[in-house]
Amino acid sequence: MTEKQYVTIDGIPVEINGEKNLLELINKTGVKMPTFCYHSELSVYGACRMCMVEDERGGLSAACSTPPRAGMKIQTNTERLRRYRKNILELLLANHCRDCTTCQNNTKCKLQDLAMRFNIEGVRFPNTAKSNAEEDSSSVCISRDAGKCILCGDCVRMCNEIQNVGAIDFAYRGSNMVISTAFGKPLAESPCVGCGQCVAVCPTGAIVVKNNISPVWKAISDPDVRTSVQIAPAVRVALGRELGVKDGEDVMGKIVAALHRMGFDEIYDTSLGADLTVLEESAEFMERLSSGENLPLITSCCPGWIQYCEKKHPELLPNISTCRSPMQMMASILKDQAKEKGEKTFHVAVMPCTAKKFEAARDEFKVDGAPNVDVVITTQELVTMIKEAGLMFDALEPEAVDMPFGTISGAGVIFGVTGGVTEAVLRHVIANKSRADIMMVANCGQRGDEGIKEFDITAGESKLRLVVVSGLSNAEKVLQRIKNGEKIDFVEVMACPGGCVNGGGQPFAVRQDKEERSKGLYKSDRLLSIRRAEQNPILKTLYDDIIRGREHELLHVHYGKHNQ
């Protein structure tokens, strides 16, 4: 029997149980250690020095980079440590833009939070923040402001380690150090794919979601314009976090009520577009299996992934499904119907994803020069609009989406989590479709938050290899296996780790909350009477009355190489 080992933290013995560093062990004691540069998913950087602890001999160590050792005795809150942390905060504030009231991250900024926590009432040093002239708004997805950067490196490690994009890195040395693209080029000219994961980890608002709220309010206020909006599945389990509802709770009904109160004429669920995607992608997959061409079939729902493939692996573009994303399928039909009626419309998509802003601006999704989706706003932006409208979200009575496109399936809802597209397709193609069989499909291997999940299924006399990937560095690993000749038949790729529920446009969440979002979508799926896409009665009407013979025009696309 192994003897238990302990570290004494603030006089309390704490058992070591596999923790990688002191910071993880301290968290077990109920102490919230200050830190800017630590994220459990990223490599340890140890740059901010806010998480320093003091040992019994007066030595200082960074809790994030110090492994726990039996017999250690440390303090987390001595007078010396408080002075040390205040000095760090003052130095950061001296080199930081302090226009907090107009900052997009106001009340969500970790620097602001820690300055209040440590009672910083003044800064002794002159302000040397970089000017607004160094703001980079070239990307349609995100904006950068060097004046708000504290050089914590979170965005650099996310972009390089988790996403394998390498759009930004440290440049120069000493007091001249900055985070920059190669040769200081605008972000739009860099390898950036717009996934927004850098936004998700930035503690200060130096990188934020590109704000597109103003044109939405303008359209709502125009009496001559009919405004419609679609809401992605992942939004319903994340938006409530910022409005007094716990992560993972399905607040779709309240979102619809809020959008109606704000003035939208038509409100729809993007899950219907996901149902269309299931039927079209399943048919395409079976056709490719029959012909043996362009396998594996790689999913096309994620615009961050599409850009990654275009910029780094254009030779694999023929393998990507020709199906449009659910957002674009939905928008194509809505705009087509508005054109038939001769209505002047403005269509908005509420997405968990920053890269959807780029997708909406692509030429492939324009008709006569006009985009099918006029504006994409993220979950964060919708939260801002709800607050601006003065709506008490928790007091709103839930409402249903509008007809005639108001019926969805559970298969469409789970598109928001990694493995959801694969599971939705499997529900459609399996021969037996009883409730028990649907439950068996859930256990094939596509569920869970692992970055790479792979499993085999039997179709007729063939055994098919399916791979589910989230996070672009994981996608790169699978792509290299494909290039090396490994037989894989179907690959689902989502750029954001864990899928759309953790998109760059979602409110920030820790790992446990992210898991609750995934659980929330699966719970919503179970509560729907329609679990398979082909059971959705709206689809037959759509195919009979609108789509038939125009599938390629409305539901498919061929991608080429594009810059952001």
Instruction: Please indicate, yes or no, whether residues 250 and 171 belong to a single structural domain of this protein.
Output: no
61 shares its domain with 172: no
In a domain, 214, yes or no: no
The span from the CA of 30 to the CA of 8, in Å, is 14
Whether 397 sits among the annotated catalytic residues: the reply is no
User: What CATH number is associated with residue 19?
Assistant: 3.10.20.740
Mean pLDDT of the 121-128 span: 87
Residue 564 has pLDDT above 50, yes or no: no
DSSP collapsed to 3 states, 192-255: CCCCCHHHHHCCCCCEEECCCHHHHHHHHHCCCCEEEEEECHHHHHCHHHHHCCCCCCCCHHHH
- Domain membership of residue 340 as a residue range: 224-555
Q: What is the CATH number of the domain that holds 129?
A: 3.30.70.20
Adjacent-strand bridge partners of 464 = 457
The last residue of one of the domains, among 159, 185, 209, is 209
Q: Which residue out of 364, 388, 486, 553 is catalytically annotated?
A: 364
pLDDT, tens digit, for every residue of 362-404?
Answer: 999 999 899 999 999 999 999 999 999 999 999 999 999 999 8
* Segment among 39-48, 195-204, 294-303, 346-355 with least mean pLDDT: 39-48
Residues 257, 394: one domain? yes
pLDDT value at residue 438: 75
Q: Is 364 a catalytic residue?
A: yes
Q: Give the whole-angstrom CA distance, residue 78 versus residue 72.
A: 16
pLDDT at 43: 86
Is residue 86 domain-resident?
Answer: no
Q: Which of 24, 54, 249, 281 is labelled catalytic? A: 281
**Mean pLDDT, to the nearest integer, of 114-120?**
93
pLDDT at 512: 72
Region 522-543 average pLDDT: 92
Q: Specify whether 187 is located in the same domain as 244.
A: no
pLDDT reported for residue 362: 95
Residue 102 pLDDT greater than 80, yes or no: yes
Q: Are residues 441 and 306 in the same domain?
A: yes
Let me know whether 137 and 14 are in one domain. no
Assess whether 317 and 197 both reside in one domain. Answer: no
Q: Is residue 121 part of a domain?
A: yes
- Are residue 150 and residue 115 in the same domain, yes or no? yes
Tally of domains within the chain: 3
Confidence check: pLDDT of 563 > 50: no
Chain-centre distance of CA 556, in angstroms?
A: 24
Q: Angle at Cα 66 formed by Cα 62 and Cα 71, nearest 5°? A: 115
Same domain for 188 and 300: no
DSSP 8-state secondary structure symbol assigned to residue 142:
E
Q: Determine whether 356 is an active site residue.
A: yes
Q: Which two tokens stand for residue 40?
A: 């459990």
Are 201 and 228 members of one domain? no
Same structural domain for residues 37 and 117? no
Regarding whether 240 and 185 lie in a shared domain, the answer is: no
* Residue 219 domain-assigned (yes or no): no
- The residue out of 165, 185, 209 marking a domain boundary is 209
Whole-number pLDDT of residue 435: 73
User: pLDDT grade, residue 562 (50/70/90)?
Assistant: very low
| Domain contains 361 | yes
Active-site residue, 323 included:
no
Structural domain includes residue 138: yes
Within-domain flag for 215:
no
202 is catalytic: no
553: annotated active-site residue: no
Q: Which CATH number is 251's domain given?
A: 3.40.50.1780
Residue among 139, 321, 325, 524 flagged as catalytic: 321
